[in-house]
Structure 1
Amino acid sequence: MASPRPAARTLSRGDTGSFLLFIVAGVAIAVWAVISSAATIVAAAGNRDVRVPIDFLDTVAQAPIGPDGASVPVELTGAVVTAPSLPLASLWALFLSEGIFAAAVVTVVVLLLILCIGILRGEIFSRRHTRLVVAVGIVSLVAAFAVPFFHNMVANGALAWLSERTYDRGLTQQIDLPILIVVGFVAALSSTVFAVGDRLQRDTEGLV
């Protein structure tokens, strides 16, 4: 088996610096995700005055942006509502949503850091790196669906209790299909690139 090329022959100093900055940024992002999710869970744990961000569809609201603060109709696309409390199922959905978000971010960051370290060592395309990229794609795609799915349960619970179950749930939208398509496309493309790169590299090494 051919040994990995020395990093000095594969990466320039600028490349190495960029990967090191990427590693630092990745650690910072992972820490932020954990702290953010933990803060949201702690704030909602008492199930009193729970703040819930909601994306609305085709909803008209009044905003004081007219002359002398007069109300003007505006299309409401997003808002944060404060529910006195949440149904138990919605509360657990909030915990799951935040937990999955933090776990997914940390997992993706760890996998990408392992990939960066491998590249810094001079190994760019390999079966191991292809598996890492595939795993990153799968985790990202699952999180892109699961986090909004559970958050939708939170939003529905908050609106149900605020409106005494009279608000039309069809006027809210949490799962963004275009984002899911883009994440899936990027994941598939990245996996294909690394798989093809690994195959070409092995074919080239076999000719040497």
Structure 2
Amino acid sequence: MDVEQQGAKQGALTRGDKAGLIAFCIAGAGIAASMIGFCIHRIVELGRGTDVPVLIEFAGDDVQAPLTTGGGTVTVGLDQATITAATLPPIATVPGIIGQVIQILTIIVVIGCLILLAQSTLSGRIFNRRNTALVMTAGITGLVGFAAVRFFENMLANATVNVVTDNAIDNAVITVEPFTFILAAFIISVIGTAFVVGDKLQRETEGLV
């Protein structure tokens, strides 16, 4: 009995641990609310369709930039620029709005799963099937969700360039960063495996007690 009580004390969360988890939950809720507020503002901005700033990515073409002194120009490689479109048609605004809606749903699912995971940890049980499901749901949703957001943002950017330049510029690109998604998928797999193994070991240990 003394050994079991000692083991329980060693496995119990300290006040500092609990305070940290509670702070994490509060911070997560605040971050989610802030990001959702930004997304809603962006949806309203896109829905209005006038004077909409859109971030455009280019293929690194050289352009002439004016100097602040001397009246000359300098050649620079253009990778990104923000274009403010006077008006945007539905072919541009709809993908942008869809992207923002997906981002809201992704944020809610990811932050919600992490907060539920933290609450479960506060109860003293870290490894179980529910927590494993929460970790995998958060990881997969974040990976797929933000990739979809990126896709629709590229559609918005390319449509904006076509509208603003009357199809005169075709060097807007759809950017894909495969290494980032591969790395994220690997990390999610490692964390998910750790929770699966931890759950199995904990159930085996409980069966021996």
Give the alignment's TM-score, normalised by structure 2: 0.88
Contact 1:66 1:72 in 2 (8 A): no
Confirm or deny that 1:32 pairs with 2:18: no
Who is 1:196 aligned against?
197
1 CA distance for matches of 2:121 and 2:21? 9
Instruction: Name the aligned partner's letter for residue 165 of structure 1.
Output: N
Relative to structure 1, is the Cα distance of residues 184 and 156 closer, same or farther in structure 2, using a 3 angstrom cutoff?
same
Who is 1:205 aligned against?
206
Who is 2:3 aligned against?
none
Contact 1:91 1:154 in 2 (8 A): yes
Aligned-residue offset at 1:9: 4.1
1 CA distance for matches of 2:27 and 2:181? 24
Identity over aligned pairs, percent = 34
More divergent stretch after superposition (150-159 vs 63-72): 63-72
Number of residue pairs the alignment of both structures matches:
203
1:112 to 97, 109, 114: 114
Aligned-residue offset at 1:24: 1.0
Instruction: Name the aligned partner's letter for residue 157 of structure 2.
Output: A
Q: Unaligned stretches of 5+ in structure 1?
A: none
RMSD between aligned residues: 2.1
**1:154-173 matched pairs, under 5 angstroms:** 154-169=156-171, 171-173=172-174
Aligned-residue offset at 1:8: 8.5
2:128 to 111, 126, 129: 126
Secondary structure class of the residue paired with 2:127: coil
Q: Which runs of 4+ in 1 moved over 6 A?
A: 5-8
Contact 1:52 1:82 in 2 (8 A): yes
Bigger relative contact order, structure 1 or 2, given CA contacts below 8 A and separation 6+?
1
Instruction: Name the aligned partner's letter for residue 34 of structure 2.
Output: W
Contact 1:43 1:50 in 2 (8 A): yes
Alignment deviations for residues 116-169 of structure 1 (CA, whole Å, 9 cap, x no partner): 000000010000000011100111111121001111110111011122113224
2 CA distance for matches of 1:16 and 1:103? 28
